[in-house]
Structure 1
Amino acid sequence: MFTGIIETLGEVKELRKEDSNLHITVKSSITQELKIDQSVAHNGVCLTVVALDAENYTVTAIDETLQKTNLEHLTVGEFVNLERAMILGSRLDGHIVQGHVDQIGTCTSVEEKDGSWVFSFQYDAGLNNPTIEKGSITIDGTSLTVVNSGTNTFSVAIIPYTYEHTRFNTYKKGTIVNLEFDVIGKYVSKLMKNRD
């Protein structure tokens, strides 16, 4: 379980394919605090630490994960949003995030708004993942509030701190992102659909 509050960025140091798996080695400021078998969200994808040394650690993404996320598009030298699992009893500063990406989306525009930014995204509505105005959404692991919710589009407003400390400062039109929709909204949507 995560909160969607990004702790730090990690630099991709190595990408190694093994059969259909992708081993991702990351250098980060939290590496020394990690341990084998620990869960860490990478761009919102919960992955298990399988190896580590003083500066780097490695996680493995299986084919199922690669098909549903943007991890297959990673390149060496790119940065990823990182968050360790929440500690029970801590404040929940973002919202309930499972680290289970529902689907990818595409950035359709970036608009600077006198000290903040509005990012707009489009996604496949056929997968029945709803957004609602002022509801929660997770983009590459970052907990955000939806504005301008449409059938297959939405926007988010980004403050300078988030822009500077996450991958948002690298997004442009066409950037592919991981989306995890609000878990409560998904349950309500499914319950309503089952009533029909």
Structure 2
Amino acid sequence: MFTGIVTAIGTIASVEDRGDLRAVIACPWDPARIDIGASIACSGVCLTVVERGGEQGDAWFAVDISAETVSRTAQGQWSEGRKLNLEQALRLGDELGGHIVTGHVDAVGRVALKRDVGGSHRFEILAGKAIAPYVAEKGSITVDGVSLTVNEVVDEADGDVRFSLNIIPHTGEVTTLGALEEGDSVNLEIDVLARYLKRMQSLNS
């Protein structure tokens, strides 16, 4: 379980095709605090640590990425040199600063618009009809592992959904979101509460 509050930006140092992919991710953490078998959200994707090393402030960990995961995440996500938003799993007693995030990607969206507004970035994300019922104005959504609040929602004529987000300068600097450009793909996870409410609604209808 995660909160969508990114604590570091990692870089994919190497990728090896072993049937599944084995990726080594460099990060500024203490390797002693990265447990083998632990879950780490990598740009919104929950992955399991299989190796670790390095030293404090210059650590690395390795994860295995299945073909299924590759097919359901943003294009180019698992390539050498790619920057990733990192969050270690929530520990008992940690502050829930964002919202409840599972690290399971529900859809891949596309940055349809990026505009500077003051010091912030306004994004419009276009996503498929499958998640349209779960995206609500002032609701929560996770974009590349970052917990964000939806500003506006527009339902497209073809059933797709377009929603807007405001990325403040701090968020843009401490995550990969500030570097996104129009046309880029992003991992999306809907609010788990919206998922359960939709299920309850379907049972009562």
Please report the TM-score for the alignment, with normalisation by the length of structure 2: 0.90
After superposition, what is the alpha-carbon deviation per residue over 1:99-143, rounded to whole angstroms, capped at 9, x for unaligned?
A: 111111001011100111111101111355521100000000000
C-alpha RMSD of the superposition: 1.4
What letter corresponds to residue 202 of structure 2 in structure 1?
Answer: K
| Whole-Å separation in 2 of the counterparts to 1:26 and 1:44 | 15
- Counterpart residue number, 2:114: 110
Identity %: 35
In the alignment, which residue of structure 2 is the partner of 1:3? 3
- 1:13–1:76 CA contact under 8 A, matched in 2: yes
**Cα distance in 1 for residues equivalent to 2:200 and 2:193:** 11
- Contact 1:131/1:150, CA 8 A, preserved across alignment: no
> Do the aligned residues in 1 keep the contact of 2:75 with 2:185 (CA within 8 Å)?
no
1:115–1:72 CA distance, 2 compared to 1 (3 A): closer
Q: What whole-Å deviation, never above 9, does each CA across 1:80-106 have from its counterpart, x for those lacking one?
A: 000001112222110000111111100
What corresponds to 1:52 in structure 2?
Answer: 52
What residue in structure 2 maps to residue 157 of structure 1? 166
Is the contact between residue 118 and residue 158 of structure 1 (CA under 8 Å) also seen in structure 2?
Answer: yes
Q: 1:129 to 1:50 in 2, by over 3 A?
A: farther
| Correspondences of 1:170-185 after superposition (within 5 Å) | 170-185=179-194
Residue 150 of structure 1: CA displacement?
2.3
Report SS of the residue matched to 2:50: strand
Change (3 A) 1:5 1:161: same
Counterpart of 2:158 in structure 1 is: none
Tell me if 1:23 matches 2:27: no
Q: Deviations over 1:130-179 (max 9, x none)?
A: 21100000000000000111231111101110001101122111111000
Tell me what 2:37 maps to: 37
Residue aligning to 2:202: 193
Work out whether residues 10 and 26 of structure 1, in 8 Å CA contact, stay in contact via their aligned partners in 2.
yes
Name the CA distance, whole Å, in 2 between partners of 1:186 and 1:117. 28
SS in 1 for 2:134: coil
Q: C-alpha separation between the residues in 2 aligned to 1:98 and 1:164? A: 24
Provide the rounded CA distance (Å) in 2 between the counterparts of 1:67 and 1:99.
15
Distance (whole Å) between structure 2 residues aligned to residue 71 and residue 174 of structure 1: 11
Secondary structure of 2:92's counterpart equals: coil
Residue 14 (str. 1) matches residue 14 (str. 2):
yes
Runs of 4 or more, structure 1, over 4 Å off, are: none
Q: Provide the aligned length of Structure 1 versus Structure 2.
A: 195
Q: How does 1:27-176 map to 2 (within 5 A)?
A: 27-32=26-31, 33-54=33-54, 55-70=59-74, 72-127=76-131, 129-151=133-155, 152-176=161-185
CA distance in 1, matches of 2:84, 2:149: 21
Q: Secondary structure at the match of 2:150?
A: strand
Contact 2:131–2:190 under 8 Å retained in 1: no
Q: Tell me which amino acid in the other structure corresponds to 2:191.
A: D
State which drifts further: 121-130 or 21-30: 121-130
